[in-house]
Structure 1
Amino acid sequence: MRDILITLIVFASLPLILKNPVNGVLMWIWISVMNPHTQGWGFATTFPFAQIIAVVTIFSLVTSRAPKLLPASGITFALLAMVLWMNVTTLFAIFPAASLLQLGKVMKIMLMSLVTMIVIRSRQDVHRMIWVLAISLGFYGVKGGIFTVREGGNFRVWGPTGTFIGGNNEIALALIIAIPLMRYLQQSSDQLWVRRGWTAAMLLSAMAALGSYSRGALLAIAAMMGLMWMKSQKKMLGALLIAVFAPFALLFMPERWTERMDSIGDYQADNSAMGRINAWNMAFNLARDRFFGGGFEIAEPSVFYQYAPNPADVHAAHSIYFQALGEHGFIGLGLYLLVGMLTWRSAAWVVRNSRNDPELVWASNLSKMIQSSLIGFAVGGAFLSLLYFDVPYYLMAAVVALRALTEQRLAQRKTGTLP
């Protein structure tokens, strides 16, 4: 039944996508982020929904009257440079066949991220995209939060199998990214039931993140909540809510959860933590030796034998930063950090330049929340191999649109042509 329902939704959306490529981007985000087909049990789990939506969306974009050029933004230029560099490093990959296969997967994500930047331009488009992202991830937050409360936190929360967010650490970080987006939608609604619904979703998502038993997520959620509090206009109320909810949530979790979190301070005795440090050293040594890095898919015994302090301890990078460094060298890491820095600065620019305009309050609120999501990703991503996780790239697209809309509004104010 689930397989049939998902299939009907996807194919029913195709005429709407042909009518407007924005609908295609929203459907793509829903399929790629929520992965609803993984909730089925039959043919839908392997059916190429994403490919169909991508092809129809690109066809709709090409044939529509909508603008077809990327916005002139430092973010887009830096992202294009990073994409180009990934193709260059693949030419010098240690494992050419595996690297080329992975390149194809990554380029699909990057292509649709760039398409998102092209078509998401209006306030309505941005708002709808945030709704899709929040619902797609909030589904697992509500589900995981209920599971954590029902089971007393004694079992780990996992994401949908076979996806970017399938692991316990990955789903936790995804939910931490989603919570600020839920907060924005809560702020934007005038309907009491919507605001209460997002409040419940945020609380349950936070419990689900704790229930993942992810130590990196604990650090990420602290960073995210800290920035949300700093960006809040009601700091006293925010501090009171954190002071009430945080101790309750932590005390609710069982003793074995507390013991696992306490192991953060004793990482030398933790095999998992030492394995990650070994992988980080390997990536650093490889980048020093190879200007272009190792290319995709370098977590192999032969590579660790040559570059790792402990050749027998083979691990994935478990860090977006060392993943970029090992796979694409120092230039690849620099480009990735540049994309993140430009996104952060553009969001900060929107906040500064929209604070005195009632028509741009929404842009300011959303930019603050995207910054909170990104700081959570920056902290939690230091411990996970999520360099190609698509949600941060969609948030970059939102920031590009927010800056363009704010610049347009400022130009109208300056010339006296406000509607």
Structure 2
Amino acid sequence: MRDILITLIIFGSLPLILRNPVNGVLMWVWISVMNPHTQSWGFAATFPFAFIVAIATLFSLASSRLPKTLPVSPITYTLIVLILWMNVTTLFAMFPETAYAQWSKVMKIMLMSLVTMMVIRTREDVHRLMWVLAMSLGYYGVKGGLFTIRSGGVDRVWGPEGTFIGDNNEIALALIMTIPLLRYLQLRSAGRWLRLGLGAAMLLSALAALGSYSRGALLAIAAMIVVMWSKSRHKLAGALLLAVLVPLALLFMPDRWGERMDSIGSYQEDESAMGRINAWHMAWNLAKDRFFGGGFDIAEPRAFFLYAPNPHDIHAAHSIYFQALGEHGFVGLALYLLLLGLTWRSAAWIARHSLGRPELEWAQQLATMIQASFVGFAVGGAFLSLLYFDVPYYLMAVIIATRVLVAKRQHTARHAVQGQLESRHPAVRQP
């Protein structure tokens, strides 16, 4: 039944996609982020839905009257340079066969990220994309939160198998990134029951993140909460709410959860933590030796034999930063950090130029919540191999579109003021 339902939804969306490529991007994001086909058990689990939607979206874009150019933004240019650099490093990959297989997957993500930046241009498009992102991941937050309550926090929360967020650590980080997005939707929703439902989804997502038993998630959610609180207009009420909810959530979790979190301070005795540090040393040494890095997928015995302090402890990078460093060298890491920095700076620009303007309140709220989401990603990503996780790239597209909209609004307002001055004082008109 689930297979049939998913198939009907996706194939039923094709006429809408062909009518407007924005619908294709929204459907692509839903498939790539939520992976609804993984919730089935039959033919839909392996059916190439994403490929079909991508082809339909590209065809719709090519045949539509929408602009075919990317928005002018330092974020866009930096992402393009990073993509080109990834192609260069692939040519010099240590393990060509596995590198090309991963290259194919990553380039599809990057292509659709650029398409998203190309077609998401209006406030309505931005809002719809935020709903799709928040609901796609919020589904697992609500599901995981209820599972944690039912099990008393004893069993771990896992994500959909075979996806970016299948591991317990990865689903935890994804949910932490989702909480600020849900908060934005709550702020922009008028219905009382809808606001209450989004609030419940936020709490359940936080509980699901704790129920993942991810130590990195604990650090990430703490950082994200601090940023959300610092950007709130009601700091006292927020502090009181956190003072009530945080202790309750921590007290709810069993002793084994507390023991695992306590191991953060004694990481030297933890095999998993030491394995990650060994992988970080390997990535650092490899990047110093190879200007182009090792290319995609370097978690291979030969790489660890050549560059790791412990050649027998083979681990994935478990860090977006060391993953970029090991796979694409210091240049790749610099480009990725620049991309994150430009995104943060653009979000700060939006928040600053929207503050105190009622017609742009939505943009100010959106920018600050995306900043909180990126803080969670930046902290939690330090311990996970999620360099190619697509959600941050979609959020970059949202920031680019929102900045363009705010800039246009400012331009229109300046011209309106100038027109009023000229009508009142003809002498100020330019010859």
With normalisation by structure 2, the TM-score equals 0.96
1:54 is matched with 54
Q: Separation in 2 of the partners of 1:392 and 1:242?
A: 26
Q: Separation in 2 of the partners of 1:373 and 1:237?
A: 21
1:94-125 per-residue CA deviation (whole Å, 9 max, x = no partner) reads 01111111111000000000000000010000
User: In the alignment, residue 17 of structure 1 is paired with which amino acid?
Assistant: I
Q: Separation in 2 of the partners of 1:352 and 1:135?
A: 28
Q: Separation in 2 of the partners of 1:49 and 1:357?
A: 42
* SS at 1:156 equivalent: coil
User: In the alignment, residue 297 of structure 2 is paired with which amino acid?
Assistant: E
- Alignment of 1:217 with 2:217, yes or no, is yes
Q: Separation in 2 of the partners of 1:215 and 1:363?
A: 33
1:349 Cα deviation (Å)? 0.1
User: In the alignment, residue 372 of structure 2 is paired with which amino acid?
Assistant: S
- Alignment of 1:14 with 2:14, yes or no, is yes
1:357 Cα deviation (Å)? 1.5
- Alignment of 1:332 with 2:335, yes or no, is no
1:202 is matched with 202
1:83 is matched with 83
1:371 Cα deviation (Å)? 0.2
* SS at 1:416 equivalent: helix
Q: Separation in 2 of the partners of 1:125 and 1:174?
A: 22
For residues 207-246 of structure 1, what are the structure 2 equivalents within 5 Å? Answer: 207-246=207-246
* SS at 2:159 equivalent: coil
Q: Separation in 2 of the partners of 1:69 and 1:193?
A: 40
1:107 is matched with 107
1:371 is matched with 371
Q: Separation in 2 of the partners of 1:346 and 1:19?
A: 32
Q: Separation in 2 of the partners of 1:305 and 1:260?
A: 31
Q: Separation in 2 of the partners of 1:65 and 1:359?
A: 29
- Alignment of 1:252 with 2:252, yes or no, is yes
2:422 is matched with none
1:22 Cα deviation (Å)? 0.4
Q: Separation in 2 of the partners of 1:210 and 1:127?
A: 28
1:129-165 per-residue CA deviation (whole Å, 9 max, x = no partner) reads 0000110000000000000011100000000000000
With normalisation by structure 1, the TM-score equals 0.99
The runs of 5 or more residues in structure 1 that have no matched partner are: none
1:234-273 per-residue CA deviation (whole Å, 9 max, x = no partner) reads 0001101110000000010000000000000000000000
- Alignment of 1:158 with 2:158, yes or no, is yes
- Alignment of 1:386 with 2:392, yes or no, is no
1:402 is matched with 402
User: In the alignment, residue 411 of structure 2 is paired with which amino acid?
Assistant: A
* SS at 1:296 equivalent: coil
- Alignment of 1:357 with 2:338, yes or no, is no
User: In the alignment, residue 8 of structure 2 is paired with which amino acid?
Assistant: L
Q: Separation in 2 of the partners of 1:302 and 1:342?
A: 36
- Alignment of 1:266 with 2:266, yes or no, is yes
User: In the alignment, residue 344 of structure 2 is paired with which amino acid?
Assistant: W
1:356 Cα deviation (Å)? 2.4
Aligned length: 418
1:281-336 per-residue CA deviation (whole Å, 9 max, x = no partner) reads 00000000000000011000111000000000000000000000000000000000
* SS at 1:378 equivalent: helix
User: In the alignment, residue 301 of structure 1 is paired with which amino acid?
Assistant: P
Q: Separation in 2 of the partners of 1:235 and 1:319?
A: 32
User: In the alignment, residue 19 of structure 2 is paired with which amino acid?
Assistant: K
User: In the alignment, residue 41 of structure 1 is paired with which amino acid?
Assistant: W
For residues 307-346 of structure 1, what are the structure 2 equivalents within 5 Å? Answer: 307-346=307-346
1:381-417 per-residue CA deviation (whole Å, 9 max, x = no partner) reads 0000000000000000000001000000000011118
User: In the alignment, residue 84 of structure 2 is paired with which amino acid?
Assistant: L
Q: Separation in 2 of the partners of 1:138 and 1:100?
A: 33
User: In the alignment, residue 183 of structure 1 is paired with which amino acid?
Assistant: R
Larger Rg: 2
Q: Separation in 2 of the partners of 1:68 and 1:264?
A: 49
The runs of 5 or more residues in structure 2 that have no matched partner are: 420-431
2:38 is matched with 38
Aligned-residue CA RMSD (Å): 0.8
Q: Separation in 2 of the partners of 1:259 and 1:357?
A: 48
User: In the alignment, residue 336 of structure 1 is paired with which amino acid?
Assistant: Y
Q: Separation in 2 of the partners of 1:297 and 1:130?
A: 31
Q: Percent identity?
A: 71
Q: Separation in 2 of the partners of 1:150 and 1:378?
A: 31
User: In the alignment, residue 48 of structure 2 is paired with which amino acid?
Assistant: P
Q: Separation in 2 of the partners of 1:385 and 1:324?
A: 9
Q: Separation in 2 of the partners of 1:283 and 1:372?
A: 28
Q: Separation in 1 of the partners of 2:297 and 2:164?
A: 16
1:178 is matched with 178
Q: Separation in 1 of the partners of 2:49 and 2:343?
A: 30
* SS at 1:77 equivalent: helix
Which segment drifts farther, 274-283 or 354-363? 354-363
Q: Separation in 2 of the partners of 1:74 and 1:180?
A: 24
2:294 is matched with 294
Q: Separation in 1 of the partners of 2:176 and 2:120?
A: 24
